[in-house]
Structure 1
């Protein structure tokens, strides 16, 4: 019986890994013909050498498979175990990478974890319970939820639900309303944004009361119910609660029930000619 021996594939001498490297390559051959290569290395390793290794692996595969490769796709590197997490999921299941380089605020309140992260591109970013809420560069979001500059707030009564970053409050104050009432459940969100989101809130969060506004540190559900009983009405209701609402009321057990409750109560305190804005 004749046997054949395949000599091991060798890389060029300049690709031999020395004692200062800890590279790990995983090659998987899938049943339907897909081949994946995962190269794991330390972020301080020489980028040129890593590229050379990947190029050499590509060349070897092309030689071994004798031109049967239809397409090669190289994906950007993922950073694992970094001191600052740069990857954040979106509501539609995607994973976004941001140029986050440091954590400037990280506190646990009675309701949630509050982080403010710094991005060179977007400025400071407010993250509540792992959900990205707002960056200092997101003035367009604030303007949109207020009506994109097409509303006349002068002399009007305005109710803001949530809005702890202070962006809506700061922008609405500029429009000379009669009175703004902002209801935010978490004082620590306000504290963090007052210190680290100044491009968003300006000085609006420096005091809980101003010439034309008042900030209530309360759960908005009982506050809304109280306004309904009193017959208090608003010209504008702006719902800027977080994507996963926080409440001390029993209704929080069902997210959709909570959202319906907020909408129902908001309609009851909204003037017949008023407007309701939400994200």
Structure 2
């Protein structure tokens, strides 16, 4: 793309760039919209084609699509783009405000490398291997290997966690400010095993982890920081137990039995991206989990959970509004952490029951 001065002579730009495409033996089709500039398409015999869009306000766009697996084909594409860029600079001389050339978007390959961030930006990962790709009864589970981030767990198209992301686990555990020694801990979800692995090292009295998908739990990362070692070998140990169940009936059962925990860690789902909580069943589920968790949380206990991307301010505000609708009054604090594989800043919440003097 190129940004030239306003009131650009579209016809002069078109005539200046035409020879570049004609040298490649490309067939030309031109659409003229009078006050709205030109669209020219150029088609090559090998199936590649280019769109040239020229706007009167000074924006010139060139999109090139090609199917080529060999280096010669890629060199030809680079040569054409170089010629177009050189010609544009020649046409506009020093009056060009900006020239921007983007890397190629590769479509249709066996390994998908493009995944959206929570706030809707497209990120290209350096994926070089599909480690795992299967459907569970609840979601699609992928593990893709990244050169930068190691194995990345992707659940139903959402980047969940990578071997690089110890910062996520530390944040959802309180960022090293909590003493788990001798404490009762409840983990909701946490199927990658990272939270369980880290807490067990801190000598708690008992950690109970409730994960609905056994399939997700048995797919472990090779990095020791995110190895589901305990989960894979045994579902029960000296200071932990793993329940393969839906957490809602488990929470209801614990509340009825009067079982209480020092810490409840919710690693089930991020804050919904929705502006209508009353119309979104995900918000209802979130409030249900919050209410049930408060019922099994000790008076001086803490509830930890992820929020969402820091840019989703409206969704985060809605979440904080939900905290005022629980059966008991609560207070909260939040922390923003950079999670490497997310490529965005992520918000985490600590929530506790309001401490009133008796």
Query: Shared topology, TM-score over 0.5?
Result: yes
SS in 2 for 1:118: strand
2:19 maps to 1:10: yes
2:34 maps to 1:34: no
Match of 1:203 among 223, 229, 234: 229
Q: CA deviation at 1:136?
A: 0.9
Paired position in structure 2 for 1:44: 70
Give CA deviations for 1:43-78 in whole Å, capped at 9, x if unaligned: 534444433321211222344456653321111221
SS in 2 for 1:192: coil
Alignment RMSD (CA, Å): 2.8
Give CA deviations for 1:130-183 in whole Å, capped at 9, x if unaligned: 001000111111011111112111110000000000000000000000100000
- TM-score normalized by structure 2? 0.68
Paired position in structure 2 for 1:162: 189
Inter-partner Cα distance in structure 2 for 1:244 and 1:8: 49
Contact 2:193–2:227 (CA under 8 A) maintained in structure 1? yes
Matches within 5 A, 1:73-84: 73-84=100-111
Structure 1's 259 and 157: CA in aligned 2 closer, same or farther, altered over 3 A?
same
Give CA deviations for 1:15-39 in whole Å, capped at 9, x if unaligned: 679x996532211123533111012
Which stretch of the first structure deviates more once superposed, 154-163 or 139-148?
139-148
Paired position in structure 2 for 1:270: 297
Paired position in structure 2 for 1:186: 213
Gaps of 5+ in 1: 1-5, 246-251
Extract structure 1 runs of 4+ deviating beyond 6 A: 12-17
Gaps of 5+ in 2: 1-14, 27-43, 273-278, 307-358
Structure 1's 209 and 27: CA in aligned 2 closer, same or farther, altered over 3 A?
same
Inter-partner Cα distance in structure 2 for 1:227 and 1:269: 7
2:172 maps to 1:145: yes
Paired position in structure 2 for 1:248: none
Paired position in structure 2 for 1:72: 99
Structure 1's 62 and 182: CA in aligned 2 closer, same or farther, altered over 3 A?
same
Matches within 5 A, 1:109-258: 109-193=136-220, 199-206=225-232, 207-243=234-270, 254-258=281-285
Contact 2:16–2:87 (CA under 8 A) maintained in structure 1? no
Inter-partner Cα distance in structure 1 for 2:108 and 2:217: 30
Paired position in structure 2 for 1:60: 87
Contact 1:24–1:39 (CA under 8 A) maintained in structure 2? yes
Give CA deviations for 1:71-119 in whole Å, capped at 9, x if unaligned: 2111122111111011101110111111011111111111110111111
Structure 1's 136 and 7: CA in aligned 2 closer, same or farther, altered over 3 A?
closer
Inter-partner Cα distance in structure 1 for 2:22 and 2:119: 46
When the two structures are aligned, how many residues end up with a matched partner?
A: 267
SS in 1 for 2:168: helix
Paired position in structure 2 for 1:3: none
Contact 1:43–1:79 (CA under 8 A) maintained in structure 2? no
Q: CA deviation at 1:239?
A: 0.5
Give CA deviations for 1:169-220 in whole Å, capped at 9, x if unaligned: 0000000001000000111101222x76655025121211111111111111
Q: CA deviation at 1:273?
A: 0.9
Structure 1's 99 and 72: CA in aligned 2 closer, same or farther, altered over 3 A?
same
